[in-house]
A and B are shown apart, each in its own frame.
Chain A
Amino acid sequence: MSPPALDTAAVALSRATPRDFVPAVGDYVALLKPRVMSLVVFTGFVGLYLAPGHIHPLLAAVAVLCIAVGAGAAGAINMWYERDIDALMERTRRRPLPAGRMAPADALGFGAVLAVGSVIVMGLAINTAAAALLALAIGFYVFVYTVGLKRRTPQNIVIGGAAGAFPPMIGWAAVTGDVSVAALALFALIFFWTPPHFWALSLYRAGDYAKAGVPMLPVVAGKAETKKQMLIYTLVLWPVAVAPALLHATGWLYGAAALALSALFTLCAVAVLRDAGDGAARRMFGFSILYLFLLFALMAIDRAPGLLAVAGIGA
């Protein structure tokens, strides 16, 4: 098919009535926010891996799959609800709904079916506690964050960050059937990491958020106040990041690395505070993802004696 024909098809598709929408498989995948899902899956897996007790490998895989599908479902429902503001923002205007490639009802139905399905499978295959936490996480993301907070308060991602913090706790509950203090420490780590992570993004996307009327902190309180808040949160992260080691959920290797990484994260926040442009904020956003990924990877490595022995560190 030649490029002009494709253009014609795109124009015709954009003018189609709801019955004429035929989204590609990739559009359904995009609704699940795969990049967000990858971090959710990883933190959920580490929570499951760190939990004391035993779970059959297949059931562990099913638990992680349910966490992934539940997170994706929440993302799809979020895209359905936010399709009006997504169309106004550069970062999100090419998503399936604002781009006109999918009918809104299809996205809502897809998300709702996956949300209910993931909770039911988690309940049937794993346990009630993990299923209840998964349902709570999805409900919190959709009703509390997306519907209740995002368009109303600059504290949207502070409180809403709890939704993204659930996965390691769900993974933990999949093994133990309950929630311990160590699982709450994993929850707290993601909860306090979320504000500086999202505010770094919103610093260099402030124009987009202002255009869409989303009251992100840089839009409402200004960039200087946001940078100050980000620095405070990175300082709060020091004890929170070390907590899993203090609670003996991990060993000394993780504890030392958590301190070093938290120091680097704080240095990023200081650089943002001193930078009048967007460069430091972009770098901090990138580092924030690496920071969380490394912390959870180190937790898993620290609990794998075989890996440490191979590395010559000793368990």
Chain B
Amino acid sequence: MSEIALMDERQRRIRSRNRALLLLLLGVVALFYLIALVRLGVWS
């Protein structure tokens, strides 16, 4: 029982870490896109 609980906890942590990483990567892409717009004078 405790082994199963431990595996569940491990899987939950891996999933939440992967989601956080995905959000971070999307955020970085969006950030670079917006910086490019400002630097190019498109959005002044």
Binding site for B on A (CB under 8 A): 1, 5-6, 8-9, 12-13, 22-25, 28, 56, 58-59, 62, 121, 124-125
Contacts and interface: CB of A to CB of B under 8 A. Distances in A.
17 contacts: A1-B8, A5-B1, A5-B5, A8-B2, A8-B5, A9-B5, A9-B6, A9-B9, A22-B14, A23-B17, A24-B16, A25-B17, A25-B20, A58-B34, A62-B31, A62-B35, A125-B39
Contact of A9 (B2, B14, B16, B43): B2
B43 to A, nearest CB: 8
A197 B8 CA distance: 44
Task: Report the interface size class on chain B.
Answer: 10 to 19
Interface string B1-31: 1100110111001101100100000000001
A56 B38 contact: yes
A124 B28 CA distance: 13
A303 B39 CA distance: 27
Nearest to A59: B38
Contacts of B14: 22
Contacts of B44: 56
Nearest to A65: B31
A22 B35 contact: no
Contacts of A125: 35, 39
A12 B31 CA distance: 40
Q: Which 3 A-B pairs have the closest CB atoms?
A: A8-B2, A5-B5, A22-B13
B1 A22 contact: no
Contact of B10 (A8, A22, A121): A22
A13 B38 CA distance: 47
B17 to A, nearest CB: 6
Contacts of B39: 125
Contacts of B38: 56, 58-59
Given A58-B34, A58-B35, A8 B6 contact: yes
| Max chain B C-beta neighbours (<10 A), residue from A9, A28, A59, A121 | A9
Nearest to B8: A1
Contacts of B20: 25, 28
Contacts of B34: 58
Contact of B35 (A5, A12, A59): A59
Nearest to A22: B13
A25 B15 CA distance: 10
A100 B43 CA distance: 47
Contacts of B31: 62, 121
| Max chain A C-beta neighbours (<10 A), residue from B2, B10, B16, B31 | B2
A22 B5 contact: no
A12 B9 CA distance: 11
Contacts of A58: 34-35, 38, 43
A12 B4 CA distance: 12
